[in-house]
Amino acid sequence: MGQLSFDLPKLDQQATKKQVLKVLRIAREYQQIGFVRKQIKTTPSYAPREHGNTYAISKQVEDVGSWNVDREIMMKDAYEAVQLALTRLYKKEREIIVRRYLEREDVCDFEVYTALHMSERKYYRMKLQAFNKLAYMLRIEVIG
């Protein structure tokens, strides 16, 4: 009897990393400052109009209102998903992600792996594993 072989699809590491970083950035923004709502302009623009009438109605209030609601829900969902996914990572992987991407914006990799008393190679290996796990848990992996 032949042995069954399951070939897992290969991840596109660069695109997956970009997606995970995007979600982590959103989660950090929501964690640190919450949600900042857009405001509508109340002063009219008196610029000369060179084109003819379009008879289009500007719905600035509705557009800004729906953007505020949609964006706040998206940011909150991303934050909660990241927090849930972090609880499922190993302790060192969680510390790497939290220290590097969720606490402060100006932290570099060198500072993190020296603070965690890790070698550079082990740090980058664990960071890659954490990114891959987060991508699968958040369902944002990119198959290449």
pLDDT at residue 103 tops 60:
yes
pLDDT at residue 89 tops 80:
yes
Angle at 90 between CA 99 and CA 114, to 5 degrees: 40
Residues of the chain with pLDDT > 70, as a percent, come to 84
d(CA 51, CA 133): 53
The pLDDT mean for the chain works out to 87
The pLDDT value recorded for residue 109 is: 94
- All structural domains of the chain with their residue ranges: 13-33+56-138
> Which of the four pLDDT bands, split at 50, 70 and 90, describes residue 67?
confident
Read off the pTM: 0.78
